Structure 1
Amino acid sequence: MVSCRPLGWLARYFALLAPLVCTVAAAPPDDHRVVIYYQTGLGTDVTHVPLLPLIQAEPAISVTHLLIAALHIIDDDGGIHLNDHRPDDPVFDLMWTEAAQLQTAGVKVMCMVGGAARGSFQRLDSDDASFERYYAPLHNLIGSHNIQGLDIDVEENFSLKGVIRLIDRLKADFGSDFIITLAPVAAALTEGGGNLSGFSYFELDAQRGSSIAFYNAQFYFGWGNAGSARDYESILDDGFAANRVVMGLLSNPANGNGFVNLDSEAAVLRELVTENANFGGVANWEYFNSLPGGTAAPYQWASWMAEHMQAARKMERREISSSEALWRGVRKLGRRIRREAKKSYYHYIA
């Protein structure tokens, strides 16, 4: 038998159903980020996937952020690996050289830590002495390669206290200009949505939002649908600003479930940009086989995305209709009901 607490708070949220027209303040064009995740081809495979076409093969540089993936905090072999090797392994020499050239051209070069391979954040979530042991190799890597930021991709349990300690330490050690991003599944940025990280992104943003540049939200593997504007809009409706939410996309159907073909994605981008002048941009998982160019020309993904966002910016500003605002209010109410229900009997609702 399941019992529920009285939902006296419910009436407060019916105000969300009132029709309204949303307006968004303008933001600089460079808020429309083009983020590249670079893993396959930087030492995990025999063949190096070159980065220089990102700054040389097109008339303009479209990529804004390069995220080298994935760092793993370990117990031996120097305490840190970049995929299967130490970051200073010669297999990465060409990659680091090319990454430095992108940086010189104005691209922000960052590293991603964590991801699907678990253990990194468990090691960083212990007492202070343990944290210092496991943080030191990460600190040394950032300093030795002039890394400009860290993407924290938490797909295991990590305490709120632990992630705040990591963020605070990075800012203290590398300064206010050091870029910190996180890569939650898209659902984790909605009320009552699924989450892989073990902490609430709403609580994190309330406490350390000023230290977080943006979120690379994963709209794939069932955690969000990039084939429609709806899931992105749900994140905005629940309080996250558009300029801080990057829509993470699969760049090729071979990279997992949730790929959206480019023709369909063009319409979604057009809707999001024309309704949100400060749309946060897009990210891809991952670079090496990105369409439309595929393995022969993966750099074309960045230029395709930039061109479509730029074209949408030039279109007439689109306001949200009263009927759409009403429907978004209904969806928001449903998410809040789900959130409160999960608080009451979270073992029952997945």
Structure 2
Amino acid sequence: MPPISLPPTPRLVIYYQTLHNPDGTPCSILPIITQPGIAVSHVNLAAIHLNDPPGNITLNDHVPSHPRYHTLWAELRVLQASGIKVIGMLGGAAKGSFTRLDLDDSTFEEYYIPLRDMIRERGLDGLDLDVEEPMTLAGVIRLIDRLKSDFGSAFIITLAPVAAALMSDNPKHNLSGFSYEALEVMRGSQIAWYNTQFYCGWGDVSKPDGYDYMIARGWPAQKIVVGMVTNPGNGSGWVPFEIVQEVLLTLKARHPGFGGVMGWEYFNSLPGDRERPWEWAAFMTRIVRGRLPAATEAPVATSNGAAEEKPNPFLLADGDAKAKSEAPLPAEFDYYTDGSLEE
């Protein structure tokens, strides 16, 4: 089939980590191109881990070449042939990958080169850096620079900060340790967008305030992708569809170039759940990649026409204007790996 021609924004990003059903059969991603009315732009394959010793790389719990992934790699090539970009997700809740890449230059090379070779072997279109452990600004810049040097300007580099990290420059308000504002100043031209986590206590997708505040702080709308959980079982902060729809339509109307949405994760996305997980993508296609109804226009302005100065919705405590001293910790929940508990 010929590649699908999609506009650059709004993006529709799906995280794909649970790769197998409970019976061990592959959880196919192909319905996002075979079912009607779906225009996914990017699939983020999760999660790549760099383990000890150097060169010990796993995709979730197994090496990328494991026979259980043969169907996966074949399906991802079909997605790419259909115009969808496939991006690897490095890191996530399992810590260690970025700690290893944040050491001295010699050690960095030992861990980085096998990662580079894996990206080449699998033909990935980019890498999503989900830094959920302390890392230095110099360390993440070194990694970005090497990726661009090795793969060229067309290689997609994204990051996945919690929403609070783009509302405050205080490192306590993110999981990565470094300042995302400083990173944007120094390497923003090399970063395609931010898959921003509006869930687990770090953001709220039930209202537009958080996104509005990021834009007021100077973040470009086209670089902020609104991340949400696709099922209450995937983390706290799930919001019903009728509310999400109004919020997304409002953001599209207010912010030309709105960056899009991402969903964590594919396998059990509502409303179809495990039986029809592609229905979430169909719903989001209609909302974020469809035509914007004129009735949703909702400009943010005061009565005298001046732009409204909004308070930080993350830092404000409930019912008062006292700033929180630290970011709330996400509620405990299980990150699914590949859905099969028995080997």
Give the TM-score taking structure 2 as reference length: 0.85
Q: How does 1:137-176 map to 2 (within 5 A)?
A: 137-176=114-153
2:47 is matched with 70
Aligned AA (1:223):
W
1:271 is matched with 250
2:237 is matched with 258
Alpha-carbon distance in 1 for matches of 2:314, 2:202: 17
Cα offset, 1:30, TM superposition = 3.3
Alpha-carbon distance in 1 for matches of 2:139, 2:22: 29
**8 Å contact kept, 1:192–1:335:** no
Cα offset, 1:250, TM superposition = 0.3
**8 Å contact kept, 2:164–2:203:** yes
1:208 paired to 2:198: no
Cα offset, 1:319, TM superposition = 2.2
**8 Å contact kept, 1:191–1:238:** no
Inter-CA distance 328–81: structure 2 relative to 1 (3 Å threshold): farther
Cα offset, 1:318, TM superposition = 3.5
1:50 is matched with 28
2:309 is matched with 329
Cα offset, 1:237, TM superposition = 1.1
Aligned AA (1:331):
P
Alpha-carbon distance in 1 for matches of 2:25, 2:94: 23
Q: Which protein is bigger by CA-based radius of gyration?
A: 1
Count of equivalent residues: 314
Inter-CA distance 335–131: structure 2 relative to 1 (3 Å threshold): same
Alpha-carbon distance in 2 for matches of 1:44, 1:237: 45
Cα offset, 1:229, TM superposition = 0.4
1:37 is matched with 15
**8 Å contact kept, 1:42–1:95:** no
Cα offset, 1:256, TM superposition = 1.1
Inter-CA distance 102–237: structure 2 relative to 1 (3 Å threshold): same
Cα offset, 1:125, TM superposition = 0.5
**8 Å contact kept, 1:44–1:84:** no
SS in 1 for 2:8: helix
Alpha-carbon distance in 2 for matches of 1:334, 1:185: 11
1:233 paired to 2:212: yes
**8 Å contact kept, 2:21–2:27:** no
Q: How does 1:88-107 map to 2 (within 5 A)?
A: 88-107=65-84
Residues 27-81 of structure 1: CA deviation (Å, up to 9, x unaligned)? x9531011000001259972311011110111x4411000000001101484211
2:64 is matched with 87
**8 Å contact kept, 2:210–2:312:** no
Structure 1: gaps spanning 5 or more residues: 1-27
Q: Which of 260, 276, 285 is the matching residue for 1:297?
A: 276
Q: Spell out structure 1 runs of 4+ moving beyond 4 A.
A: 42-45, 323-328, 332-336
**8 Å contact kept, 1:148–1:179:** yes
**8 Å contact kept, 2:38–2:285:** no
Inter-CA distance 77–246: structure 2 relative to 1 (3 Å threshold): same
SS in 1 for 2:102: coil
SS in 2 for 1:181: strand
Structure 2: gaps spanning 5 or more residues: 1-5, 317-321, 328-343
2:261 is matched with 282
1:247 paired to 2:226: yes
Alpha-carbon distance in 2 for matches of 1:176, 1:54: 27
**8 Å contact kept, 1:73–1:134:** yes
Alpha-carbon distance in 2 for matches of 1:303, 1:325: 37
Cα offset, 1:286, TM superposition = 0.3
Give the TM-score taking structure 1 as reference length: 0.84
Residues 73-102 of structure 1: CA deviation (Å, up to 9, x unaligned)? 101484211000011111111000000000
Alpha-carbon distance in 2 for matches of 1:333, 1:263: 22
SS in 2 for 1:258: coil
Residues 99-137 of structure 1: CA deviation (Å, up to 9, x unaligned)? 000000000001000001100001000111100000012
**8 Å contact kept, 2:221–2:257:** yes
